[in-house]
Amino acid sequence: MNALGYSLDGLKAGWVNEAAFRQVSLLAIAGIAAALLLPLPGWGRAVLIGSHVASVIVELLNSAIEAAVDHTSLERHELAKRAKDLGSAAQLVCLSNLALMWALVLWQVYGNG
């Protein structure tokens, strides 16, 4: 039960303190709703929902990296910048994958006929 409480605290902290987490979460809510409402095959829904959930997970990890780095020191340091940049790059790759998955699913379902 403690672990669940810590997880919920993390989600709340992400929502309250991280604009990027709110943006990715809202995108996920809209994208998952669209995936459920559009007439898509089950595999397409699974790919899209999984890709949206992955982007939320990556943003939580990116925010955790940023918080840990900022807690350690507010001084500018090459390794701190690298850690933050790598977290940001992970989210860029994840969001690029999300866009690609939407394009591929929509093309496969609607553009192939």
Cα distance between residue 69 and residue 25, in whole Å: 23
What is the per-residue pLDDT for 113?
58
- Print the domain residue range for 47: 2-110
DSSP state of 38: S
Reading the block at residue 85, the tokens are 């940049």
CATH number of the domain to which 72 belongs: 1.10.287.3610
Reply yes or no on whether the pLDDT at 73 is more than 70: yes
Percent of the chain with pLDDT over 70: 98
Query: How many domains does one find in the chain?
Result: 1
70 is in an annotated binding site: no
The chain-wide mean pLDDT, for the chain, equals 94
User: What sign has the CA pseudo-torsion 64, 69, 70, 76?
Assistant: negative
What is the per-residue pLDDT for 74?
76
**Does residue 39 sit in helix, strand or coil?**
coil
88 is in an annotated binding site: yes
Which of 27-41, 44-58, 68-82 is the least confident region? 68-82
69 is in an annotated binding site: no
> Which residue numbers are catalytic?
59
Angle CA(49)–CA(63)–CA(59) in degrees, nearest 5? 15
Residue 91, C-beta contacts closer than 8 angstroms, at least 6 positions apart? 20, 24, 55, 58, 59, 62
